[in-house]
Amino acid sequence: MTDILKNKMTEVSVKLSSLPPEEALALLAQEFAGKIILSTSFSWEDQVISHMVLSQRLPIKIFTLDTGRLFSETYYVWSRTNEMYNTTVEAYYPNAGLLEEFVTQKGPNSFYESVENRKGCCYIRKVEPLQRALRGNDLWITGLRAEHSPERGDLPMIEFDETNNIIKFHPLLHWSTDEVKAFINKNGIPYNTLHDKGFVSIGCQPCTRAIMPGDDFRAGRWWWEDKTSKECGLHAHS
């Protein structure tokens, strides 16, 4: 199955090379009918892609990971998106048994105590639910952009995720932040107002804070940790 997916990825990558994001998404919706999925955290980027999908009524499933510790502003954007586009973003939650055991043994804020605890929390609240969401699909659309981190500078627009055995497509990979914001403003797309308050990368409330101009994109995530540990396991390149 892996070889079949990789061969198909090679075939479609040629077709995608000259297409704008809207047309690329429409093509992929046909090529991977019933097995294509978009993950959203309701970030700027994810809202742009969701708009492209929903405004064209493309048959692409959209899901989010509700960790149970999101900002109220994030839930507002989720509700507003459902209402505006007459859609239903599917929610995936942490496994109750794993979460209950972790919090009981470690405590509700143990992620501040060690990188191991924080990654354990991320695994239960994000990684394991993501694996369930991706299961049975062949292509995963993400909002990754090259500006997000130096590691993403050489990231291909379409790649194969060996961990999840799925093709990943990053339609906004080479968009700048200004381009993303301009598209949102032009199309009246609902977005997380925390972005206007210095929050760039928005995750769980206890693990996210605003950053100062000039700070690294990831500076607001897990700020109490060493820079080298700032990933949660959702993306190998994050």
Q: Could you give the residue numbers annotated as active site?
A: 232
State residue 171's pLDDT score.
Answer: 97
Q: Which amino acid is at 182?
A: A
pTM score, whole prediction: 0.92
Q: Which amino acid is at 136?
A: G
Going by pLDDT thresholds of 50, 70 and 90, the confidence category of residue 238 is very low
pLDDT exceeds 70 at position 231: no
- Give the domains, in start order, of the chain with CATH numbers: 2-196 (3.40.50.620)
State residue 228's pLDDT score.
Answer: 57
Cβ atoms 232, 130 nearer than 8 A: no
Judged by phi (left if over 0) then psi (alpha if -120 to 50, else beta), residue 88 lies in: beta
Which tens digits make up the pLDDT trace of 109-126?
Answer: 999 999 999 999 999 999
Q: Averaged over 163-182, what is the pLDDT?
A: 96
Percent of the chain with pLDDT over 90: 81
Pairing type for strands 61-65 and 90-92 reads: parallel
Which tens digits make up the pLDDT trace of 77-121?
Answer: 999 999 999 999 999 999 999 999 999 999 999 999 999 999 999
What gap in Å lies between CA 153 and CA 42, rounded to an integer?
23
Cβ atoms 157, 44 nearer than 8 A: no
Q: Averaged over 202-228, what is the pLDDT?
A: 85
Residue 177 has φ and ψ, to the nearest 5°, of: -60, -40
What gap in Å lies between CA 73 and CA 70, rounded to an integer?
8
State residue 201's pLDDT score.
Answer: 87
Give Cα 99 to chain centroid, integer Å.
21
State residue 59's pLDDT score.
Answer: 98
What integer best gives the mean pLDDT of the chain?
Answer: 92
What gap in Å lies between CA 238 and CA 233, rounded to an integer?
8
Q: Averaged over 44-68, what is the pLDDT?
A: 98
State residue 147's pLDDT score.
Answer: 86
Which tens digits make up the pLDDT trace of 130-168?
Answer: 999 999 999 999 999 988 766 666 789 999 999 999 999
